[in-house]
Structure 1
Amino acid sequence: MTKTAKLYRMVMDKHVCPYGIKSKWLLEREGYEVEDHHLTTREQTDAFKGEHGVETTPQTFIDGRRIGGYTALRAHFGRREADEGGTSYTPVIAVFAVGAALAIALSLFAFGAPFTVRTAEWFVAFSMAMLAMLKLQDVEQFSTMFVGYDQLGRRWVPYAYAYPFLEATAAVLMAGRLLPWLSIPIALVIGTIGAVSVFYAVYIQKREIKCACVGGSGNVPLGFVSLTENLAMIGMGIWMLLRPTL
């Protein structure tokens, strides 16, 4: 027996509702034949809202019963919505996964082998660069979170604003082993200050706060991830001191 659903969504010359598109896709994915009703004018949309006593579109009806908008439709099919206030390590996992993939791909191209010394160096450098990029998306918000636990940042606020630029500079230079006299000190200094700050806040003070490591919009708890980021910078700086050339 064919399952059918009625979908009412805005499809106008200058605006096609993205949630309407996703609702149609979700219904079809669940095996429904969709009666797709387009609301092509603002007047038509307002009239539909008034008739059904709703404030938003799209609206889906299944078996004559109104399900609601896209979020309600997902819930109807048992698809869990992400908790906006909950902890998520997804940005960190994405950064490290892409950093590793880039490093391996470049190593294969340059040396014909996936795992080399340069693979490890590139992985750290690329990961640092992407973490810095996330911070640079909103330096103001990042700095606000950063001064909450960084020992130097809370004493000298300009450091909080400079940190993402310093991390990005060190990452780019280390990726190409350029200007080691500049990249190594930057990595060692900001990495050491960061590691001490995180260790003190998390393991001495036992504070539970959000980490600024993926930028101000992330919801990663301060702790292992940030400590790892800083220790990796320290390790990279020491490694390049010991192995200035390959």
Structure 2
Amino acid sequence: MSATLDASAPKAAATTRRHAVIHRMVMDKHVCPWGLRALHLLRSHGFEVEDRPLRTREEVDRFKNEQGVKTTPQIFVDGARIGGHDDLRRYLGLKVRDPKAVTYAPVAWLFAASLALALAASVSAFGTALTGRAAEWTVGFAMVLLALQKLRDVDSFATMFLGYDLLAQRWVPYGRIYPYAEALAGVLMVAGVLNWLSVPIALTIGTVGAVSVFKAVYVDRRELKCACVGGDSNVPLGFVSLLENVMMVGMAVWMVSAHGLA
């Protein structure tokens, strides 16, 4: 994706340097996406770009050997090698995403999508967004979307889940059951049916989860990643996971008080 920044390359883009050359893979069965992104960056920043596509594996390997690099694309500005896509972003003074960085963005977008879906459904069903069912649907949709994140890779989720969930640590299969149970409870709550089934599920997994997270984070002071959005999450265990579980418990209590167990 990127190569080490050449020591001879300028540290910042100068306004007088506007000619760039990019070598990128453009083969019949593979067009490098990072090359396309780098090409777009150069053009959008006003560079006159000389695009030199590498159209065969032989051309790619020869170019790498000649330049002493391991990856493409490779970008040159006024004859000085800048490096790959990420190096170009640094050269232009842009942020480079750290794949290991802690982020709450996936969870924030998930809850925002749940709210938007609930409001849209409420408008469709009742002609107005602000209804009691919209509040219920927001939680129900969030439960289903959170479950889907876990179901992308159940094994990874279950493994991470074992790090802190008290019930899973005593009965390992619970880690694989959890996302299916969460999805089922969420769907039933959105439909408003079979409360006798959805309420106990949400109440059980929510209570166990809340106690487990509270113990791990606030009692044992452990620093763990949250499995709430899947096994490859960089969301720290804490408020988000606690919110997910408290939300399920609150939803279960609300469904009983508002609709009973019918």
**TM-score under structure 1 length normalisation:** 0.96
Give the 3-state SS of the residue equivalent to 1:25 in structure 2.
helix
What is the root-mean-square deviation in Å for CA atoms of aligned residues?
A: 1.3
Q: In the alignment, which of 83, 103, 112 is matched to residue 127 of structure 2?
A: 112
Give the 3-state SS of the residue equivalent to 1:9 in structure 2.
strand
Letter in 2 for 1:124: V
Give the 3-state SS of the residue equivalent to 2:20 in structure 1.
strand
Q: In the alignment, which of 24, 28, 38 is matched to residue 23 of structure 1?
A: 38
Structure 1 partner of 2:207: 192
Structure 1 partner of 2:257: 242
Q: In the alignment, which of 29, 33, 48 is matched to residue 33 of structure 1?
A: 48
Is 2:94 the partner of 1:83? no
Q: Deviations over 1:69-126 (max 9, x none)?
A: 1111111112222222221111111111111111111111111212211111111011
Whether the aligned pair in 2 keeps the contact of 1:104 and 1:115 (CA below 8 Å) is yes
Whether the aligned pair in 2 keeps the contact of 1:2 and 1:33 (CA below 8 Å) is no
Structure 2 partner of 1:180: 195
Structure 1 partner of 2:9: none
Pairwise CA distance, 1:26: 1.0
Letter in 2 for 1:78: G
Aligned residues: 245
CA distance in 2, matches of 1:213, 1:227: 10
Structure 2 partner of 1:146: 161
Q: Deviations over 1:9-61 (max 9, x none)?
A: 11111111111111111111212121111111112222222222212111111
Give the 3-state SS of the residue equivalent to 1:5 in structure 2.
strand
Is 2:85 the partner of 1:70? yes
Structure 1 partner of 2:57: 42
CA distance in 2, matches of 1:107, 1:187: 23
Q: Deviations over 1:177-221 (max 9, x none)?
A: 121111111001101111111111111111111111111100111
**TM-score under structure 2 length normalisation:** 0.90
Query: 4+ runs of 1 displaced by more than 3 Å?
Result: none
Q: Deviations over 1:164-184 (max 9, x none)?
A: 000010011111112111111
Unaligned runs of 5+ in 1: none
Whether the aligned pair in 1 keeps the contact of 2:17 and 2:78 (CA below 8 Å) is no
Give the 3-state SS of the residue equivalent to 2:39 in structure 1.
helix
Letter in 1 for 2:225: K
Structure 2 partner of 1:123: 138
Unaligned runs of 5+ in 2: 1-15
CA distance in 2, matches of 1:195, 1:48: 55
Letter in 1 for 2:40: W
Letter in 1 for 2:112: A
Letter in 1 for 2:188: L
Q: In the alignment, which of 107, 112, 119 is matched to residue 97 of structure 1?
A: 112
Whether the aligned pair in 2 keeps the contact of 1:67 and 1:76 (CA below 8 Å) is yes
CA distance in 2, matches of 1:115, 1:29: 43
Structure 2 partner of 1:231: 246
Whether the aligned pair in 1 keeps the contact of 2:17 and 2:77 (CA below 8 Å) is no
Whether the aligned pair in 2 keeps the contact of 1:60 and 1:66 (CA below 8 Å) is yes
